[in-house]
Structure 1
Amino acid sequence: MASASSTNEPGAPAPGTVTIDPQEAAHFGRMAAEWWDPSGSSAMLHKLNPVRLRYIRAAIDLHWDGDDTGFTPLAGKTALDVGCGAGLLAEPLARLGAQVTGLDAAAENVAVAQAHAAQGGLAITYRAHGIEQETGRYDLVTCLEVIEHVRDPAGVVRGLANALADGGLLVLSTPNRTPLSRLALIGLAEGTGRIPRGTHDWNKFLTPDELTALLVDAGLEVTDVTGLAFSPAKGFDLSSSTALDYLVTARRAPSSPARGGGTPQA
């Protein structure tokens, strides 16, 4: 589905790398029409999104020493959302003031995202390709609940690092590979139809230590790991436990060279 990038700079995926798994892209492409239906196949993401946004907003304010009472903390900054789906995260990032670009492997998702953003009067750039083809540099890079669906996690992390501008912030989230995540996400959520069957492959989940190692290998420094927990009473919430799912923030390590920017390429 995606052709390989010809980029061969430090931190970039190796030539010939294709990070997208075509079967995964097709699976999520079939869900495109329901992305914005809070009771549809993406209902779980709608429930998860407010918690993720709360974490991202706090990370933004901490990273750029911002005022947590402001409405547009990303004003003047660029943002890249990798694996954007139909724009559930890209649109709030735009409302926070960022110039946003969204990447997704499924052209069906990109079409829905473009239409929805236009309806809301949001100027968001969407592209249907993998991170290995992205040549822009961004102040904020997000990749939420995506890395467990790719064929080359290390290549994705290198691509994310390469897309990060000097002084930028990277935020990822992904399920942990634990007995709890197997039971909750596959046994219960998929088994009862709350998440479409076949959405997850438990063996592709990464532990926090594994993801941290990939980020360090890509020249980044992990600055925070916070768990995402679920309870029937409260729903999703941030947690000290990473047993189910977790969020990670990272920045370029002080000794790692950065290719400056913050200016996306059209």
Structure 2
Amino acid sequence: MRDQGAGATGRRPAPVRPRNDPAQYDDLVDEWWRPDGAFAMLHWLAEARAALVPVASRPDALLVDIGCGAGLLGPHVAGKGYRHVGVDLTRSALRQAGDHGLLPVNADAAAVPLRTGCADVVAVGELLEHVPDWRRAVVEACRVLRPGGTLVLDTLNDTAMSRVVSIRIAELFPGVPRGIHDPRLFVDARALVAECARHGVRLAVRGVRPQTGAMLRWLIGRAVPAARQRGVGRVAPRIVPTWSAAVLYQGRGLKEG
């Protein structure tokens, strides 16, 4: 991993690590809840993912958030009536998730220590493109989901366009973490739909992207101090549907009962 954009943020350069090294999340632990920090786009994605989560249909409904990070989904589902369990491998992020109302569980996405069929909703946000075996993570997500429950997820597609946009272009911008993704782990959308179907979840996917104009203003405001002083880019972009799932896509599905 190259310099984490320290020149733009004034922070000490992070250690050089291999792509997709989990230790990067410890290096960036102070960035999670900064709305304009290294994980800014994860905030936008969390809001969009939360929109796919239905209101709880019964008392004590459980939402299991696999790969919860520091709990960015929490504020967006807080009023929907769930007990929110966050599962993550990175302890430094998980401590922050606990501080933001999640019930933290330190575990690997490939071995979730929760009983089968316990969850009304399972959220898997921006995780599958980081795990060595995304199919195993899907098995676990579908296992803990009860019949009739909802699976929501988002990830990066395994396409040439995705590799160009997510690696070659995105990592040019100041403050964007370098090396956070390994393109060899990106997840083919058709393969993901098929894998979910094998475990009883009929997943529908759609492409999503940040709003173009708002994204440009946000980037200019981030990179040009004078523009930021004038308020350019102060409003964060929203994640909106798009016609192509070639780069970033959401999925939502119900588990058959």
TM-score interval w.r.t. the shorter chain? Answer: 0.7 to 0.9
Residues 226-263 of structure 1: CA deviation (Å, up to 9, x unaligned): 11123531443112311121111122235xxxxxxxxx
Q: Where does structure 2 lack aligned partners over 5 or more consecutive residues?
A: 1-19, 216-238
**1:143 corresponds to:** 124
Whether the 8 Å CA contact 2:67–2:89 is kept in 1: the answer is yes
Match runs of 1:156-235 below 5 Å: 156-222=137-203, 224-235=204-215
Match runs of 1:7-156 below 5 Å: 24-54=21-51, 56-57=52-53, 60=54, 73=56, 76=59, 77-115=61-99, 117=100, 122=101, 124-131=102-109, 132-136=111-115, 137-156=118-137
Aligned residues: 212
**Deviation at residue 174 of structure 1 after TM alignment:** 0.4
**1:248 corresponds to:** 251
**Deviation at residue 97 of structure 1 after TM alignment:** 1.7
Whether the 8 Å CA contact 2:154–2:251 is kept in 1: the answer is yes
**1:69 corresponds to:** none
**Deviation at residue 156 of structure 1 after TM alignment:** 0.5
SS in 1 for 2:107: coil
Whether the 8 Å CA contact 2:148–2:256 is kept in 1: the answer is no
Residues 92-130 of structure 1: CA deviation (Å, up to 9, x unaligned): 223322111001110000112222x2xxxx4x2111112
**Deviation at residue 24 of structure 1 after TM alignment:** 3.5
SS in 2 for 1:181: helix
CA distance in structure 1 between the partners assigned to 2:198 and 2:26 by the alignment: 31
Q: TM-score, normalised by structure 1?
A: 0.73
CA distance in structure 1 between the partners assigned to 2:199 and 2:175 by the alignment: 35
Q: One-letter code of the match for 1:129?
A: A
SS in 1 for 2:78: helix
SS in 2 for 1:45: helix
Whether the 8 Å CA contact 2:46–2:76 is kept in 1: the answer is no
Q: One-letter code of the match for 2:197?
A: V
SS in 2 for 1:233: helix
